[in-house]
Amino acid sequence: MSFDKPHLLGIEELSPPEITTLLDRADIHAEAERGSRDHGQPLKGLTQINMFFENSTRTQASFEIAGKRLGADVMNMAMQTSSVKKGETLIDTALTLNAMHPDLLVVRHPHSGAVKLLADKVNCAVLNAGDGRHEHPTQALLDALTIRRAKGRLHRLNIAICGDIAHSRVARSNILLLGKMENRIRLIGPPTLMPSGVADWGVEVYDNMETGLEGCDVVMMLRLQKERMDGGFIPSEREYYHRYGLDAAKLSVAKDDAIVMHPGPMNRGVEIDGVLADDINRSVIQEQVEMGVAVRMAAMELLAENLRERRAAA
């Protein structure tokens, strides 16, 4: 088997065969979701705890649905009302949960590296559902699956990632994954929203959409992460939309069959035109959500197999 990791913490530590293994398994679940809905209950008897220290709609919901459809007992910890609010440290929370013997912990946290810190303290499989600006591995995997299904391959594509790169863990995980699979990656956005050190990432950087999008196969838009900005990154949303918001006119320089992606939540009229986002001939945004469930099923199933093997050998 080519996926033997105990946790899914980031794309950085995955090899191309491991990525392919995850996507192949997810494809099977995606087909089952569209058909029989029979996934064979591979997580039966296992307990999955979702701990979201940051707000989430689609990521939390899809992890919950994925776990339930695979037969796990799923619990959502309400982090807003938990002892974390009383000042309990992340490590104390982790140790408390660990004592309840969970099998899968799904964690989102506002600090980069927090999920790894937690994974080092517990005896179960940990999945990173987004840590600060660092990584969001299941998002990059679901984006990759969506691209592979739409384009028939996941290599040698021209892929533009546009907007607020600096604050985005989605961008970071996607750049890592799409780079490992040998695609040509272009980052497009205002210089104020480019991370420092971007010149060493093996990507092309553009500060205008008209040249950056030329001939692209895939156009991935990002949300302006206002909660991570301390002011002064863009002149105004109106101006930003004018220069960087994706609409049909800007998209016209990309390939005729270019697909449009967005991880959600979207700011319509800020980073993307609402009509284009809903255009089923161009936008694969709904497929991304659909593939999110399949990818999370695959990740939890493979980690559960590894966990069972490790426990049997212990």
**Between 77 and 270, whose beta carbon lies closer to ligand NCD?**
270
CB 289 within 8 A of CB 264: yes
Choose among 288, 208, 189: nearest CA to 253: 208
Mask 135-154, x = binds ligand NCD (CB under 6 A)?
-x--x---------------
Could you say whether residue 128 binds ligand NCD (CB under 6 A)? no
Closest to ligand NCD by CB, 139 vs 158, is 139
Q: What is the size of the binding site for ligand NCD (CB under 6 A)?
A: 11
217 and 178 in contact (C-beta within 8 Å)? no
Our finding on whether 189 is near ligand NCD (CB under 6 A) is no
Q: 20 vs 225, which CB is nearer to ligand NCD?
A: 225
Kindly report the number of other CB atoms within 10 A of residue 17's CB atom. 10
| Minimum CB distance to ligand NCD, residue 100 (Å) | 26
When asked if residue 172 is in the footprint of ligand NCD (CB under 6 A), the reply is no
Contact indicator for 233, 191 with CB cutoff of 8 Å: no
Q: Which of 67, 102, 130, 189 is in the footprint of ligand NCD by CB under 6 A?
A: 130
Q: Rounded to whole angstroms, how far apart are CA atoms 253 and 301? A: 41
Q: Which CB, 102 or 137, lies closer to ligand NCD?
A: 137
Q: Residue 280 Cβ, how far from ligand NCD at the closest point, in Å?
A: 20
Candidates 263, 282, 298, 302: give the one binding ligand NCD (CB under 6 A).
263
Q: Minimum Å distance from CB 235 to ligand NCD?
A: 21
Within residues 25-84, the interface with ligand NCD by CB under 6 A covers: 58-59
Own/partner pairs, 279-287, CB within 8 angstroms, 24+ separation: 282/251, 282/258, 283/259, 284/146, 284/150, 284/259, 284/260, 285/260, 285/261, 287/146, 287/149, 287/150
Smallest gap from Cβ 129 to ligand NCD, in A, equals: 8
> Is residue 10 part of the contact set for ligand NCD (CB under 6 A)?
no
Within the chain, residue ranges assigned H as helices are 16-34, 58-69, 90-98, 114-119, 137-151, 169-180, 209-212, 237-244, 248-251, 274-277, 285-313
Selected binder of ligand NCD within 170, 171, 259, 304 (CB under 6 A): 170
CB atoms within 10 A of CB 308: 14
**Cα 274 to chain centroid, rounded:** 22
Identify the three-state secondary structure at position 74: strand
Minimum distance of ligand NCD from residue 168's CB (angstroms): 7
Token pair recorded at residue 278 = 């809903």
- Contact predicate 301/42, CB 8 Å: yes
**Sole binder of ligand NCD in the list 223, 250, 282, 296 (CB under 6 A):** 223
Question: What's the rounded Cα separation, in Å, for the pair 53 and 305?
Answer: 27
**54/214 with CB nearer ligand NCD:** 54
Residue with tokens 């969970």: 102
Minimum distance from CB of 279 to ligand NCD (Å)? 20
Pick between residue 59 and residue 158 the one whose CB is nearest to ligand NCD.
Answer: 59
Under rule CB under 6 A, residue 226 binds ligand NCD: no
> Which of 169, 184, 250, 296 forms a contact with ligand NCD (CB under 6 A)?
169
Please give the residue ranges that form the binding site for ligand NCD (CB under 6 A).
Answer: 58-59, 130, 136, 139, 169-170, 223, 225, 263-264
